[in-house]
Structure 1
Amino acid sequence: MPAEEQPGTAQRKPVTGRTRDVVIFVDKAIFKLAKHWLVLANLFWGLYVGLPFLAPVLMDAGLTVPAKAIYTIYRPACHQRPERSYFYGGPQAIYSIEELEAAGLDTNPFAREIGNEQLGWKVAFCERDVAIYGSIFLMGLAYAVLRKHFRGRRMRVRTFALFLVPMAIDGLLQLFGFYESNWLMRSLTGAIFGIGAVLFAYPYVDEGFADVRRTINSKLHLE
């Protein structure tokens, strides 16, 4: 009598035909993503931080519809307060609340003012967000050049928290009215956080995608 097959020991049927083609296609797509994830990440962050600067350029050129679309898209991501934002197309890049009010702008946080012909037009991101996402983009480019030096060097969460502390202190002190931060402090603390975010996250992501590449390559021999 042949021995009874134990539960869980039955061999899986090989994937064939159209299903196999789909599986191979998906594996190849994942492999390409794993191989080129850093290029895609840098393209994303470059676009993400670049579009807010396009908004005031479009406003200054009279192309108000696409400009306002950009302001609207970025509205959920940033408070967009004019006294904490850079301006384009006017006599100054930065204005105080008093200067904005003297030029007729409503500085109420809910007003969502974007500027006027006298002052110029604000960037769709505040100064701190420009520094955060700009530093993530620039640090991503640096990571691409120095990639080999970062492999195997994982930053601890406690170390990463140190990059967050300056921004948290600056933001909380400003929030509770202890002092009004300036563009330099907002930019410095935002950049410190952005640099730390890349140093913390990218080695983990790189290592994870390297494992994915090895797994798929062992099956399909793509490189």
Structure 2
Amino acid sequence: MMVVTLFVKQGDPAVETVVEMLNRLKDEYPHQLAVVAIDQDEGLRAVYEKDAPVVQVGPYRLGSPFREQDLRVTLGAALDRARHLNAVGDESYSKRVERGRKVSTADRISLWLSNRYMWLINFFIFLYVGLPFLAPVLALNGVQTPARILYTIYSPLCHQLTFRSWFLFGMQPYYPRSLAEVQNLASYEQVFSVPPTDLAFARQFTGMEEIGYGAGRIGFKVALCQRDVAIYASLLAFGLIFSLSGRKIKSLPWYLWLIFGLLPIGLDGFSQLPSLLSFLSELPVFRESTPLLRTMTGVLFGGTTGWYLFPMIEESMRETRTLLSQKRTIVAQIQSEGN
């Protein structure tokens, strides 16, 4: 038997007329009727409000106003299509019909995820940006093996250069290269007495190493660089704002993301790459970014990326919620009528 879905606005007087027409045609075109109110669902309102009440049967849709003859044609076309597909033994059609008559475990999981996906995203971003700060805490307390594991895990994900990373529990929060010209702080070259082009040392040093001046005085390195910390922290901040807003914030236009997010971080990052090469590092045209500038460009990139991306994900999830909520309502009414 066909399933006819009627999408309605609550309190609409036209609904009773459509239901009466469907009841008169039920013997000629056997069907089960499911009525779905669109008022409380933003996705359903966007699709059906303009033409409600709307009759949907199979792939055929009939929006108001319509006559009983229009409804007869629509039901007839759907019935002929169903009989033809059954006659030719279309297995995919049979499976679709079967899936449409029950709410599966996969449906329930998908509906749960579509409602809570942002909190899961926020949780995983929090872990990603939070665990690098756990590494120096563990190192300070002598729990070196877990600390080294964290540094090792994040090593393929971030350059972890000592002169571009934060430090905890030491005499300075960071050790910038002299090329960055940060005032009132000892430079990386002064503290470590190694050339900044020795990238192997700059990556591997964590603060746990025993070197001449004592690791405890320097502190322990955070396992993500300054820019990455800013990127993921701002991504998390926007994710929380977006979640608390009820996921109502509209997506940032792509060109604004390009201008304010991607362009500043690209210019700041790539302009300092030549300074890492020993045979070019002394030339005056090359530069080293400051921790403040790395943080600012990271915040801009992370925040605008979240603003651009999360609302786009919400659009997709809203469609999923609408389809599955609609299916759950229809299945409940069909099963109730069957009982």
TM-score after normalising by structure 2 = 0.58
Deviations 1:41-91, CA, capped at 9 Å, x for gaps? 111111110000010111011000111111111111100001001001111
Letter in 2 for 1:157: W
Which residue identity does 2:246 align to in structure 1?
R
User: Who is 1:143 aligned against?
Assistant: 242
| Counterpart Cα distance in 1 of 2:143 and 2:170 | 17
Higher relative contact order (CA 8 A, sep 6+): 1
Q: 1:31 maps to what in 2?
A: 111
Distance, in Å, in 2 between the alignment partners of 1:128 and 1:50 is 14
The corresponding residue for 1:197 is 305
Is residue 247–residue 314 contact of structure 2 (8 Å, CA) maintained in 1? no
User: Is 2:262 aligned against 1:154?
Assistant: no
CA gap 1:169/1:42 in 2 versus in 1, 3 angstroms: same
1:185 aligns with 2:293: yes
The corresponding residue for 1:109 is 199
Number of residues paired by the alignment? Answer: 215
Distance of 2:138 and 2:161 partners within structure 1: 19
Measured after TM superposition, the shift of residue 156 of structure 1 is 2.7
Equivalent pair of 1:128/1:189 in contact (CA under 8 Å): yes
Cα contact 1:86–1:123 (8 A) shared by 2: yes
Contact 2:132–2:224 (8 Å) recurs in 1 = yes
Q: Structure 1 residue 110: deviation in Å? A: 2.1
Alpha-carbon offset, residue 123 of structure 1: 0.2
Alignment partner, residue 206 of structure 1: 314
- Structure 2 residue corresponding to 1:176, chosen from 254, 274, 278: 274
| Residue type at the aligned position of 1:164 | L
SS of alignment partner, residue 80 of structure 1: coil
Q: 2:217 is matched by which residue type in structure 1? A: Q
Listed as ranges, the matches of 1:17-166 within 5 Å are: 24-97=104-177, 99-104=187-192, 107=196, 108-111=198-201, 112-115=204-207, 116-147=215-246, 149-150=248-249, 153-162=250-259, 163-166=261-264
Q: Aligned partners of 1:10 and 1:171: how far apart in 2?
A: 52
Structure label with greater radius of gyration: 2
Corresponding residue number in structure 1 for 2:32: none
Distance change >3 Å, CA 125–CA 161, structure 1 → 2: same
CA distance in 2, matches of 1:206, 1:97: 42
**CA gap 1:173/1:104 in 2 versus in 1, 3 angstroms:** closer
TM-score, structure 1 normalization: 0.86
Q: Would the aligned equivalents of 1:71 and 1:124 in 2 still touch at CA under 8 Å? A: yes
Contact 1:89 1:120 in 2 (8 A): yes
Counterparts in 2 of 1:145 and 1:90: CA distance versus 1, 3 Å? same
Q: Distance in 2 between matches of 1:56 and 1:127?
A: 15
Unaligned runs of 5+ in 2: 1-83, 179-186, 208-214, 276-285, 333-339
- Alpha-carbon deviation of 1:145? 2.0
Deviations 1:12-59 (A, max 9, x none): 15649xxx98x7111111111111001101111111100000101110
TM-superposed CA distance for 1:125, in Å, is 0.4
Instruction: Give SS of 1:40's match.
Output: helix
Contact 1:105 1:113 in 2 (8 A): no
Q: Deviations over 1:118-157 (max 9, x none)?
A: 201000000000000000011111111223541xx33332
SS in 2 for 1:123: strand
